[in-house]
Amino acid sequence: MTTFVLRVALPDRPGALGAVASRIGSVRGDVVAIEIVERDAGRAVDEFLVELADDDILPLLLSEIAEVDGVLVEEAHPITGSFRDRRLDAYDTAALIVAERTPQDVVRALTCRARHELDALWAAVIDVESGMLIAAEGLTPAAPWITAFVEEGRRGDPTSASHENDVEWVDLAAWDLVLVVGRPGWRLGTRERDRMAALARLADARWMDFSERESRISYPARASRSSGTTQTGRSLPGSRVPRPPVRSAEVC
């Protein structure tokens, strides 16, 4: 049994989804899950998680789907491991990041979970200002390349698009760092960018937790009188916590 994820563009109209599922069933494929990736201007992009008895059936499956009017298979990728519920993935990620007790471990957990949730080949957290990799997972490109890619993106340089957006980044604003994810040959769309933004918000919330804790330790009298106003940026906990070393292929 081989599992594939198929990214399919189809008309956003009643019956189109069922027609694709029917074609998958015609070659004895089992649709394990369907997820909406994008919807815009009468078109939708859905991902089908499909189990096939034999991977040799894939070409036949793709030709069957192509017979559906207005449907285009954008990508087909084999995946390893058992079926994952992406909704539970999100809860697991939140639980793991909230459980970490140091900034270094939060960054490592964030990098690991970003790669896992997005089925990415690699993920990294980088300090663009210094060009230093703070954490890395998978076959990560060199730090200068990642830094240049982010800087070009910030300038709005259209040439910074990497292989039709198979590399994406998001600012970790409270940390003054950037999370970058790469999935060569597999486009990162709106859904993936939304997930990266959600991960960034979660990481920034943890930084605020560290900031408040450091403020209570450093200024206990002020903290007892204060309503809890905090600072953001690296200076509060970052001045006491060294940069974590880069660790590759870490298990979440």
pLDDT at 157: 58
Please tell me if the domain spanning 2-79 has the same topology as the one spanning 86-238.
Answer: no
Distance CA 70, CA 73 (A): 10
* Residue-wise pLDDT tens digits, 88-138: 888 899 999 999 999 999 999 999 999 988 889 999 999 999 999 999 999
How confident is residue 187, by pLDDT bands cut at 50, 70 and 90?
Answer: confident
Please name the fold of domain 2-79: Alpha-Beta Plaits (3.30.70)
Section 221-225 average pLDDT: 48
Going from N- to C-terminal start, the domains of the chain cover 2-79, 86-238
Whether the model clears a pTM of 0.85, i.e. scores above it, the answer is no
> Could you please report the per-residue DSSP string of 181-240?
EE-TTS---HHHHHHHHHHHHHHHHHHHHHHHHHHHHH-HHHHHHS------SSHHHHTT
Alpha-carbon torsion (214, 215, 216, 220), positive or negative: positive
DSSP-based three-state secondary structure for 135: strand
Task: Report residue 237 CA to chain centroid gap.
Answer: 26
How confident is residue 82, by pLDDT bands cut at 50, 70 and 90?
Answer: low
Q: Which CATH superfamily is domain 86-238 in?
A: GAF domain (3.30.450.40)
